[in-house]
């Protein structure tokens, strides 16, 4: 199944957190990294004013996985925890933020998992890299990164 994951960090070392999260996701059982966008620095969206100065480094990655959607999501959150993610302030600073954007086109509306991600279409830092990666595939220029 194809899993599309948005990665973001606004606590230094941001690039290191993205790299470590990407490697951990790719190391999940039966999971392989298909493609990943280049990390891009973005303005924070929806953060409390006192954290508005903390710019994000965002990336989008597409994986092929044999894991079931709930197991993939659970392991994704375990990676966040292992990388020091603290959930003390809503939309506050974070070492790593992993959002499951899409999972094989599945539609779910559960308390802990909504697919496709309900705010993905509002976020250029998700949709633009996803569009570019799909274009690469369509044009035959896709390389795993």
pLDDT tens digits, 81-123: 999 999 888 888 999 999 999 999 999 999 999 999 988 888 8
pLDDT at 121: 83
Quick check: helix, strand or coil at residue 33?
A: strand
Contact 67, 30 (CB under 8 A): yes
pLDDT of residue 29: 98
> What's the CA gap between 100 and 111, in Å, rounded?
14
Please report the pLDDT score of residue 145 as a whole number.
Answer: 46
Helix 14-26 to helix 69-82 angle (10° resolution) is 140
Residue 94 φ then ψ, to 5°: -150, 140
The predicted pLDDT at position 90 comes to 82
Beta-bridge partners for 36: 61
How high does pLDDT run on average in the chain? Answer: 92
Dig out the tokens for 135 from the structure. 């274009």
8-state DSSP, 38: P
Q: In which band, very low, low, confident or very high, does the pLDDT at 57 lie, cut at 50, 70 and 90?
A: very high
H-state helical runs in the chain: 14-26, 69-82, 124-139
Per-residue pLDDT band at 141 (split at 50, 70, 90) = low
124: confidence class by pLDDT, cuts 50, 70, 90:
confident
User: Which residue has 């003390």 as its token pair?
Assistant: 88
The C-alpha atoms of residue 16 and residue 12 are separated, in whole angstroms, by: 8
* Domains and their CATH numbers in the chain: 2-139 (3.30.70.560)
- Work out the pLDDT band at 71, boundaries 50, 70, 90: very high
Tell me the three state secondary structure of residue 59. strand
Angle of CA points 49, 81, 127, to nearest 5°: 60
Please indicate whether residue 4 or residue 137 has the higher confidence score (pLDDT). Answer: 4
What is this structure's pTM?
0.91
Confidence of residue 144 (pLDDT cuts 50, 70, 90): very low
């Amino acid at each position: 199944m194809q899993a599309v994951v948005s990665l973001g960090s606004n606590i230094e070392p941001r690039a290191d957190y993205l790299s470590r999260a990407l490697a951990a996701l790719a190391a999940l059982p039966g999971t392989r990294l298909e493609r990943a966008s280049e990390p891009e620095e973005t303005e924070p969206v929806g953060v409390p004013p006192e954290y508005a100065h903390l710019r994000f480094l965002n990336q989008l990655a597409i994986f092929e996985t044999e894991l079931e959607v709930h197991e993939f999501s659970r392991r994704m959150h375990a990676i966040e925890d292992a990388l020091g993610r603290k959930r003390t302030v809503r939309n506050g600073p974070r070492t790593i933020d992993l959002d499951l954007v899409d999972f094989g086109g599945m539609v779910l509306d559960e308390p802990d998992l909504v697919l496709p991600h309900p705010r993905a279409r509002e976020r250029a830092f998700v949709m633009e890299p996803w569009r570019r990666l799909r274009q690469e595939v369509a044009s035959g220029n896709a390389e795993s990164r």
